[in-house]
Amino acid sequence: MLRGGMLSRWIEAFQSDPLSLFISLLIEIPALLLALILHEISHGYVALWCGDGTAKMMGRLSLNPSHHLDPIGTLCLVLFGFGWAKPVPINPRNFKHYVRDDFLVSIAGITMNFLLFLVSSFLMVALSQTDGFMTYIFRFFTTFASINLSLAIFNLIPFPPLDGYHILNDILLKGRLRLSGQVLTGFQILFLVLCYSTNIVSNLVSTVAGSIWSGVVGFYIKVLL
């Protein structure tokens, strides 16, 4: 289970074992980027399916990390172990059914991360008794599973600009609440301050994700080992 920020663990690894840090970076950075990119691409493809091709026209269906990384969200990932990418550009006026389609687009990233968690944790357990080079593959799937689960839980928090805010808005307010880009940026900064000054968010994500991790991985162990 991913606990704490990436930065603190990287500093500790550098002080004790630089080679271990190098190997960890080769595993964790691709895992982070892949989890974030697939999260965002899933938003874009579902939006396209719902009638809005804005993400496709602006190149947001690309696997290029530079198209997706958000400065504040990436900083949260490094400091706290969870964060967000640059929101996919969406034009709701192109949706066939606004509230339904906005909900589907919002839940797409969380669904993708949770599915990736289920698949990668299954592969992690399947490879848990391997040795040699395969141990690095095992470590990648362990890291990838942990990151995806944390991202899925984190993005369910109903706070702008996270997906949970859109989901709550669509379910309870029928999509009536609209926030400008400047207001969303303000909420991002406020949320960063909240994460930095308190342990509320990190404890919430760790507790919920830890319970899911134990249940899913425990089930896979019973089935596979």
Would the pLDDT of 82 be above 70?
no
Share the mean pLDDT of the chain: 84
- Known catalytic residues are 40
What phi, psi does 90 have (nearest 5°)? Answer: -130, 135
pLDDT of residue 2: 42
* Structure tokens given for 20: 């271990």
Percent of the chain with pLDDT over 70: 84
Q: What is the pLDDT of residue 66?
A: 81
pLDDT of residue 107: 94
Q: Say how far apart CA 181 and CA 41 lie, in whole Å.
A: 20
Residue 1: predicted pLDDT? 38
Task: List pLDDT tens digits, range 153-178.
Answer: 988 988 877 888 888 887 876 656 66
pLDDT on residue 84: 66
Per-residue model confidence (pLDDT) at position 43: 93
- What SS3 state is found at 127? coil
Instruction: Tell me how far apart the alpha carbons of residues 169 and 175 are, in angstroms, rounded to a whole number.
Output: 5
Binning pLDDT at 50, 70 and 90, where does residue 12 land?
Answer: confident
- Residue 220 vs residue 90, higher pLDDT: 220
Q: Is it the case that residue 78 has pLDDT exceeding 80?
A: no
Q: Which residue has the higher pLDDT, 20 or 84?
A: 20
Quick check: helix, strand or coil at residue 225?
coil
Q: Which residue has the higher pLDDT, 50 or 28?
A: 50
